[in-house]
Amino acid sequence: MSDLSGKTALVTGSVQGIGLSIAEALAGAGARIAVHGLAGDAQIHEVCTRLKDLGAPEAEFFDGDLRGADQIDRMMDAVAAWGGADILVNNAGIQHTSPLKDMPREKWDAILAVNLSAAFHTMQAAMPVMAERGYGRVVNIASVHGLVASKDKAPYVAAKHGLVGLSKVAALEYAASGDKAKGGVTVNCICPGWTETAIIEPQIRARAAEHGGDRDAGIADLLAEKQPSRRTSDPSEIGALALWLCSPVAHNITGTSIPIDGGWTAQ
């Protein structure tokens, strides 16, 4: 069910966190991995080596600043020359918390560019080829904030809601591509709640400071506000779901937004 031999996966933001865990899961299933992210040479080498050790026949780094459409085009052209993406995971994201009245315009522009527009550009480049091949998987890493809102996150919430909507449109446009035997072309979102990644560290530190520097107390306070399970998710759990969505058995799962949020969005 999870044999991805012969497939190539581009995972944006895959040098750490959720993106790396997804890349590891896909590598373990035999996919070639196009690695992307902000990292130095040593980290890039370490990540590519690890992915090959896990089972990827090849792992190569592709550079591209996701704030610029021209750079994204160059990256996608390079991936196409490498064989093209059968699997596209739009994971890269940035965050800035601030009340709406104080949100810097440059933060709005950057967050919308990386978290939403970049997915449009990568999907526009990759999906026609997926349709020609009869198999393709797009997994967009949205957030619970693609389904519900929180204060002080206007650009992030706007981008993630937009990503959910974009994914639904693409899912409908490509729903009839391919067939059951080849696997078809699907587009889905994964919507994580609180997950142990670097992007939530500023919020953890702020809550810990309210509890005398106690990190565990800060995390507990943060989760109690939104996530009924009061348990964070591990990035590997997101990777496991992404891998399943890429399997042939998931050929009729498209246009969905699947929360991994401990009941957050069930409230």
Look at residue 197 in the predicted model and tell me its pLDDT. 85
**Backbone dihedral region for residue 230 (phi beyond 0: left; psi -120 to 50: alpha; all else: beta):** left
pTM for this structure?
0.95
- Is residue 174 part of the annotated active site? The answer reads no
**Catalytic residue from among 62, 135, 156, 194:** 156
* Residue 103 included in any domain: yes
Look at residues 180, 167, 179, 71 and name the one whose alpha carbon lies nearest to residue 127.
Answer: 167
Residue 217 covered by a domain: no
Using pLDDT thresholds of 50, 70 and 90, give the confidence band for residue 200: confident
Question: HSE of 228 in the Cβ direction (CA atoms, 13 Å)?
Answer: 7
pLDDT of residue 69: 97
- The CATH number of the domain where 187 resides is what? 3.40.50.720
Residue 3 domain flag = no
In a domain, 102, yes or no: yes
In a domain, 1, yes or no: no
Tell me whether residue 209 is in a domain. no
Q: Find the domain containing 246 and state its range.
A: 8-196+233-266
**Which CA distances in Å does 36 have to 15, 70, 250?**
7, 16, 25
Query: What token pair was written down for 183?
Result: 């696997």
From 42-51, 66-75, 214-223, the region with the lowest mean pLDDT: 214-223
User: pLDDT tier at 202 (50, 70, 90 boundaries)?
Assistant: confident
- Residue 111, Cβ neighbours under 10 Å: how many? 24
- CA distances in angstroms from 33 to 50, 59, 67, listed in the order given: 11, 5, 22
Within-domain flag for 211: no
Q: What are the backbone angles phi and psi of residue 68, rounded to the nearest 5°? A: -125, 125
202 found inside a domain: no
pLDDT, residue 222, reads 87
Number of domains in the chain: 1
